[in-house]
């Protein structure tokens, strides 16, 4: 196995989703209809093809579900989903050993990157993980969300590597592991109990395990 770069998903991979959700309860309780509708829209957008503009598509679909204008839906997504909801991360810590793992990978001569279905720059700053990654990509910029292949192709282009030279690390089996493998990448699954017959190359729950495994395949 030849790995020249390791790329990470963000939400649920670099930090616990449970911590985010717990701190988001006051926000969600005031916006139950918005959060439910947005979750339904995102699931549907992931299945669509072709999509000319995922941001505009999800705004239009959200507007239809909430009975509001597309402009209002677009503004609520930006202000509340991508803005206010994200503020809950101010009190969320990354998983233990995330920083150490990323630094060890870089010290081993590997490139490191992040790719997320949500805006990444502010999120990394809130998690105090900014400045660690060479490529920081928001999948929507590719025109699609995971598990479509376009976000993974964009990631490979950013790193200047072939897909088979990249290990993608994520917590979602369907979006991260399956999406990365279909794009020709290797995949590591951050999970406590791997699913039966997993196609991931490696599964782990402690980032120290990931560091050791990557070092072992580099030998």
- pLDDT at residue 75, rounded to an integer: 97
- pLDDT at residue 53, rounded to an integer: 87
- pLDDT at residue 187, rounded to an integer: 98
Q: 141, 112 in Cβ contact below 8 A?
A: no
Question: The tokens 């916006």 sit on which residue?
Answer: 31
* Alpha carbon 101 to chain centroid, angstroms: 17
- Residues 120 and 210 occupy one common structural domain: yes
- pLDDT at residue 164, rounded to an integer: 97
DSSP symbol at 96: T
Question: The tokens 């089996």 sit on which residue?
Answer: 173
10-residue averages of pLDDT along the chain (219 residues): 94 92 90 96 91 90 97 96 89 94 96 94 92 94 92 96 98 97 98 96 98 91
- pLDDT at residue 219, rounded to an integer: 67
Q: What is the CATH number of the domain that holds 138?
A: 3.40.50.1000
Q: 146, 179 in Cβ contact below 8 A?
A: yes
Q: Which of 94, 146, 86 is CA-nearest to residue 115? A: 146
- Residues 35 and 108 occupy one common structural domain: no
* Alpha carbon 29 to chain centroid, angstroms: 24
- pLDDT at residue 68, rounded to an integer: 97
Structure tokens at 143: 């025109």
Q: 173, 12 in Cβ contact below 8 A?
A: no
In which element (H, E) is residue 100 found? helix 98-107
Residues in the chain: 219
- Residues 186 and 146 occupy one common structural domain: yes
- Residues 67 and 134 occupy one common structural domain: no
Residues 6+ apart with CB under 8 A from 110: 3, 4, 5, 6, 214, 218
- Residues 99 and 80 occupy one common structural domain: no
Domain count, the chain: 2
In whole angstroms, what is the distance from residue 215 CA to residue 219 CA?
7
- Residues 119 and 201 occupy one common structural domain: yes
Last residue of a domain, one of 89, 108, 134: 89
Last residue of a domain, one of 54, 89, 124: 89
- pLDDT at residue 40, rounded to an integer: 96
Q: Which of 218, 152, 143, 215 is CA-nearest to residue 187? A: 152
- pLDDT at residue 146, rounded to an integer: 94
In whole angstroms, what is the distance from residue 168 CA to residue 170 CA?
7
């Amino acid at each position: 196995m030849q790995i020249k770069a390791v790329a990470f998903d963000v939400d649920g991979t670099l930090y616990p989703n449970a911590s985010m959700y717990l701190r988001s309860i006051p926000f969600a309780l005031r916006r139950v209809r918005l959060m439910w509708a947005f979750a339904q829209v995102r699931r549907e957008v992931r299945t669509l093809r072709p999509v000319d503009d995922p941001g505009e598509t999800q705004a239009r679909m959200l507007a239809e579900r909430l009975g509001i204008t597309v402009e209002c839906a677009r503004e609520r997504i930006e202000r509340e989903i991508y803005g206010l909801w994200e503020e809950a991360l101010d009190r969320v810590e990354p998983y233990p050993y995330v920083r150490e793992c990323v630094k060890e990978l870089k010290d081993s001569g590997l490139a490191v990157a992040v790719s997320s279905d949500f805006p990444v720059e502010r999120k990394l700053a809130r998690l105090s993980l900014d400045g660690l990654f060479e490529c920081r990509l928001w999948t929507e910029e590719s025109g699609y969300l995971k598990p479509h292949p376009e976000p993974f192709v964009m990631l490979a282009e950013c790193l200047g590597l072939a897909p088979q030279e990249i290990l993608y690390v994520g917590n979602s089996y369907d979006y991260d592991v399956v999406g990365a493998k279909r794009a020709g990448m290797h995949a590591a699954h951050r999970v406590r109990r791997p699913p039966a017959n997993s196609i991931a190359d490696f599964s782990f729950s402690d980032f120290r395990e990931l560091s050791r495994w990557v070092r072992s395949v580099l030998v």
